[in-house]
Amino acid sequence: MKPAVAVVEPKTPGNVGTIARAMKNFGMDDLKIVDPPELDRDSEAYGFAGQAREDVLPNYDEVTFDELVANYHTVGLTATTNEDARKHVRFPFETPAELADSLAEAEADVVLIFGRESNGLTNEELARVDQVCSIPASADYPALNLGQAATVTLYELRDLTVDETQHPDVERERADEAAIEGFYDGFADLLAAIDHPEEKRDKTMRLVRRLVGRAHPTGREIATLRGVLRRATERAEAADPPRTQ
């Protein structure tokens, strides 16, 4: 499910270009604008859009707010929220990460609606949307630039829109257990080669296992470390052969 992205009455072409670029970054291509500014090829919009100038930006649809409400499951983005249900226009709200989880189950066509640079979406507009989303930010200055807000939100929704086969999965790249065990064997050999106190070796190995276990090293990282251990062990043995008991 790829949400459409709508911007209401943007005044700065550069923000529209930034949003188009973020959409392409995170696998979205359906841009809609309510009352768009001039977006000619020489405008900041095309300068800021990057590769999205070739498809996302020039293919935008000019729409009305009424059309968005009538045809989509709507999500209104706002920096200003209410803390409880006594004022329900901006409450309850979700963070972009929480929104990603809820939209994963949605079967309807979804549109994310971003408001104006100056004052965002009005209370009247937010009262008509189906969900409200807000980016957690400092209470001293919660309002993000329009382009920034869109980029953060679309990034959090990337699991819904980007083919995971195009990007490596860190967990799947973790070195296989045989290689990691080989690293531990190599570390134990090094401890012996430097004559590390025998009564401390078990504890040292436990610490190393816990450290590596938290790190989830890749195959290349483990291979490199094993090479370093091997050379260190060889040099230690050549410089000071283990003492016989």
* pLDDT recorded at residue 155: 94
3-class DSSP state of 76:
strand
State whether residue 208 is helix, strand or coil.
helix
Angle at Cα 63 formed by Cα 47 and Cα 88, nearest 5°? 105
pTM: 0.68
Instruction: Kindly report whether the peptide bond that precedes residue 10 is cis, defined as omega within 30 degrees of 0.
Output: no
pLDDT of residue 143: 77
Residue 172's pLDDT is 52
By the 8 A CB rule, do 12 and 44 touch?
yes
Return d(Cα 135, Cα 5) in angstroms, integer.
16
Report the C-alpha gap between 97 and 134 in whole angstroms: 10
Provide the CATH number for the domain formed by 4-166 in this structure.
3.40.1280.10
Q: Is 1 helix (H, G, I), strand (E, B) or coil?
A: coil
Please choose, from the candidates 144, 95, 121, 126, the residue with its C-alpha nearest in 3D space to the C-alpha of residue 8: 121
Q: Where are the domains of the chain?
A: 4-166, 171-239
User: What is the reported pLDDT for 213?
Assistant: 87
Q: Going along the chain, which residue ranges are E strands? A: 4-8, 31-34, 61-63, 73-77, 110-114, 131-133
Q: What is the mean pLDDT of each run of 10 residues along the chain (245 residues)?
A: 93 95 95 94 93 95 96 86 47 80 83 92 89 84 86 92 62 80 95 94 93 88 95 90 54
3-class SS letters over 125-153: HHCCCCEEECCCCCCCCCCCCHHHHHHHH
DSSP state of 28: -
The pLDDT score that the predictor gives to residue 84 is 47
The residue type at 104: A
Q: How many CB atoms lie within 10 A of CB 82?
A: 14
- Collapsing DSSP states into helix, strand and coil, what is residue 6? strand
C-alpha separations of 234 from 31, 69, 171, 197 in Å? 62, 71, 33, 19
Q: Give the HSE-up count for residue 101: Cα atoms under 13 Å, Cβ half-sphere.
A: 4
Q: What is the pLDDT of residue 75?
A: 92
Q: In a 10 Å sphere around its CB, with 0-12 CB exposed, 13-18 middle and 19+ buried, how is residue 192 labelled?
A: middle
